[in-house]
Structure 1
Amino acid sequence: MMNVPSRPAPRTEVLAACAAGVTVVLWASAFVSIRSAGAAYSPGALALGRLLAGALTLGAICLLRREGLPPRPAWRGILISGLLWFGFYMVALNWGEQEVDAGTAALVVNIGPVLIALLGARLLGDATPPRLLAGMAVSFAGAVTVGLSMSGGGGSSVLGVVLCLLAAVAYAAGVVAQKPALGTASPLQVTTYGCLVGAVACLPFAGHLVREAAEAPVTATLNMVYLGVFPTALAFTTWAYALARTTASRMGATTYAVPALVVLMSWLALGEVPGPLTLVGGALCLAGVAVSRSRSGAGAAARAAASVPPAADATAGGAAGQPRADRTSGPA
């Protein structure tokens, strides 16, 4: 009899979706906080301060939960994601956003989910169903629309575009490297030690951080701490939790909700009223995410027909309550 991978319990699917939702909301809020902290801190100092705040928060949680060191097989993915995503990405993005306007930065960085889908299909064997590709296309069109509506004349530079492009590549590579690590280590372990690796990589900016913190306004420092505790410590953990229960491609597509939420938060928190083109782009981003995360009726029927009978489930030790082993992705 052919073995059919069990599906996650409905409660697990709901929790993973909620975790992904928490991630995109907090990552969207980070753009508002970066605008305040970035006015007083240089790119490297801001990245280091954010990572130190995140590492301290995560370390305290690990001590309370008595989480040990990650297993040896997970360290390769943790080191790569820590260096590329937690370290290099944050410095490059902070620097790039000082060289280009927000719209241009959004346009370039939003190729990240596309790169995740390509790398995930190539390196992890992630499936790329038509709904995922269609949803990503709609969301990317929305991100382009938002970016064009926010772009200011003459605000871009070649250096800034290159830095944002490098940030997008580092983000995609970090996500793909993180996925296998989650097969042997917990989301909290992967996030904690990835954040610590990123902080260590940014230690050369410690002198800048000390000097700038002495002169920075309290609001900028508080925003830097907020970035470390919530968009880093909490949001990266909820991201890892959700990523462990789905493919890298689908998680990457989910982040296309961030531009729409940034528009809404800037409207509410900063009084920046979006124009009609910006609103249309935000709506396209959300519509694309909805399409990419939806399941076709045929696919649902096939999964229902292939579901494991109760007797077989009992002999498997009740595995239906565990995260699903992707049919076409993940390490063996």
Structure 2
Amino acid sequence: MPRRDALLAALVALLWGVNFVAIDLGMGGVPPLLFLAVRFTAVVLIAIWFVPRPRVAWQKIVGVGAFMALGQFGFLYVSMAAGMPPGLASLVLQAQVVLTILIAAGVLRERPTPAQIAGVILGSAGLAIVAVGRGGHVPLAALALCLAGALSWAIGNVIARAAKAPGGLGMTVWSGLVVPVPALALALLIDGPDAVARGIAAFGWAAAASTAYTVIGATLIGYGIYNGLLARNPASSVAPWILLVPVVGILSAWIVRGEVPTPGELAGGGLLVAGVVVASGVLAGARGRRPGTTKGVGSLRNPPPS
């Protein structure tokens, strides 16, 4: 990979890693599902005019939107509102790689390689250690909700894989159409109209700045750069950089929020990332392979949440 592209890949990891802290800083006083509805309304209103609709059936776009957008981020936002620290959230969501392999094996009949099986075992062990080593400061329900977000993301990955949609920005923008109305309806149902009204009144500068970052920085700029990198470089050269996302997420949460990970979280997180590395074929993948040339998870082109 040329030096310029390597710097761009590092920038994407930085944008996506900091995104978790940005969400956490902006959500105070705003119900999480209302905050999610505002974010995707902004994404759609800004980008749908100049990002072409992916050439796939509408039911595939709706399926990706329901799981990769509404499900993943809905669970993530509710998890963070329930006490999931942003740094740990950036790490636990990487379980989507392990879950994608398992779901693709069952639904798409994609036989996992020995490396992917080993990665699933390592990643599962890492998640178990994270759960046990929470240090008592992370509610178990919040951790479970974050894992549900990873599961929803994995299901969305498999739907996107089956749809064979080219690129990711178009699918990200157009599948975002699915999010605002259901997210707002769920906010009204779960939090109640009074809480939603108070959330709208509390939507101040912090929430606006957070939304601007998640929409412009993490989604439009992040995905735009990422798709350009995939167009110019093998996926096996781009994917390893995305493993920096939880590292940036943990460091930024440590610096900004004072979120110091426990030894158990660090040990389990390291094992989880090791499982992702092994499962995605970063270490043993064929050099120079172009995107979409294998049936394993390394060809799924799954960027982290934006």
What is the TM-score with the length of structure 1 in the denominator? 0.66
Cα deviation, 1:117-139, whole Å, max 9, x if unaligned, reads 11122333445222233334434
Report the residue type matching 1:44 in the other structure.
L
Task: Please report how far the alpha carbon of residue 219 of structure 1 lies from its aligned counterpart in structure 2 after TM superposition.
Answer: 1.7
8 Å CA contact 1:101–1:151 kept in 2: the answer is no
Task: Please report how far the alpha carbon of residue 239 of structure 1 lies from its aligned counterpart in structure 2 after TM superposition.
Answer: 6.4
Say if 1:275 and 1:203 are closer, same or farther in 2 by CA, change over 3 A: closer
For the pair 1:198 / 2:179, whether they are aligned, the reply is yes
Task: Please report how far the alpha carbon of residue 164 of structure 1 lies from its aligned counterpart in structure 2 after TM superposition.
Answer: 3.8
User: Percent identity among equivalent residues?
Assistant: 26
Cα deviation, 1:5-47, whole Å, max 9, x if unaligned, reads xxxxx78xx97x9887665543332221222122221021111
Match of 1:167 among 139, 146, 149: 149
Match of 1:176 among 140, 148, 158: 158
For the pair 1:265 / 2:233, whether they are aligned, the reply is no
8 Å CA contact 1:113–1:255 kept in 2: the answer is no
For the pair 1:123 / 2:107, whether they are aligned, the reply is yes
- Equivalence map 1:86-125=2 (5 Å): 86-102=69-85, 111-125=95-109
CA distance in 1, matches of 2:107, 2:26: 37
Say if 1:323 and 1:163 are closer, same or farther in 2 by CA, change over 3 A: closer
- Equivalence map 1:73-92=2 (5 Å): 73-92=56-75
More off after superposition, 256-265 vs 187-196: 256-265
CA distance in 1, matches of 2:8, 2:181: 27
CA distance in 1, matches of 2:129, 2:278: 18
Structure 2 unmatched runs, 5+: 300-306
8 Å CA contact 2:93–2:147 kept in 1: the answer is yes
Task: Please report how far the alpha carbon of residue 228 of structure 1 lies from its aligned counterpart in structure 2 after TM superposition.
Answer: 2.4
For the pair 1:229 / 2:238, whether they are aligned, the reply is no
Aligned to 2:282: 294
For the pair 1:56 / 2:45, whether they are aligned, the reply is yes
- Equivalence map 1:20-39=2 (5 Å): 24-39=13-28
More off after superposition, 96-105 vs 22-31: 96-105
Task: Please report how far the alpha carbon of residue 218 of structure 1 lies from its aligned counterpart in structure 2 after TM superposition.
Answer: 1.3
Aligned to 1:326: 294
SS at match of 1:202: helix
More off after superposition, 31-40 vs 123-132: 123-132
CA distance in 2, matches of 1:271, 1:104: 13
8 Å CA contact 2:123–2:275 kept in 1: the answer is yes
Task: Please report how far the alpha carbon of residue 152 of structure 1 lies from its aligned counterpart in structure 2 after TM superposition.
Answer: 2.2
Task: Please report how far the alpha carbon of residue 215 of structure 1 lies from its aligned counterpart in structure 2 after TM superposition.
Answer: 2.2
Report the residue type matching 2:208 in the other structure.
T
More off after superposition, 133-142 vs 26-35: 133-142
Cα deviation, 1:262-292, whole Å, max 9, x if unaligned, reads 2222223334444544444444444444433
Report the residue type matching 1:269 in the other structure.
V
Say if 1:231 and 1:210 are closer, same or farther in 2 by CA, change over 3 A: farther
Report the residue type matching 1:171 in the other structure.
W
How many corresponding residue pairs? 287
8 Å CA contact 2:90–2:249 kept in 1: the answer is no
Say if 1:132 and 1:193 are closer, same or farther in 2 by CA, change over 3 A: same
SS at match of 1:39: coil
Cα deviation, 1:187-218, whole Å, max 9, x if unaligned, reads 33212101122234334359766652432341
Match of 2:202 among 203, 211, 215: 215
Cα deviation, 1:90-113, whole Å, max 9, x if unaligned, reads 223222333354499679755433
For the pair 1:135 / 2:119, whether they are aligned, the reply is yes
Larger Rg: 1
SS at match of 2:179: helix
Match of 2:36 among 47, 52, 56: 47
Structure 1 unmatched runs, 5+: 1-9, 305-319
8 Å CA contact 1:260–1:286 kept in 2: the answer is no
CA distance in 1, matches of 2:104, 2:35: 30
CA distance in 2, matches of 1:81, 1:242: 22
Task: Please report how far the alpha carbon of residue 80 of structure 1 lies from its aligned counterpart in structure 2 after TM superposition.
Answer: 0.3
CA distance in 1, matches of 2:276, 2:205: 37
Say if 1:19 and 1:284 are closer, same or farther in 2 by CA, change over 3 A: farther
8 Å CA contact 1:20–1:239 kept in 2: the answer is yes
Say if 1:162 and 1:286 are closer, same or farther in 2 by CA, change over 3 A: closer
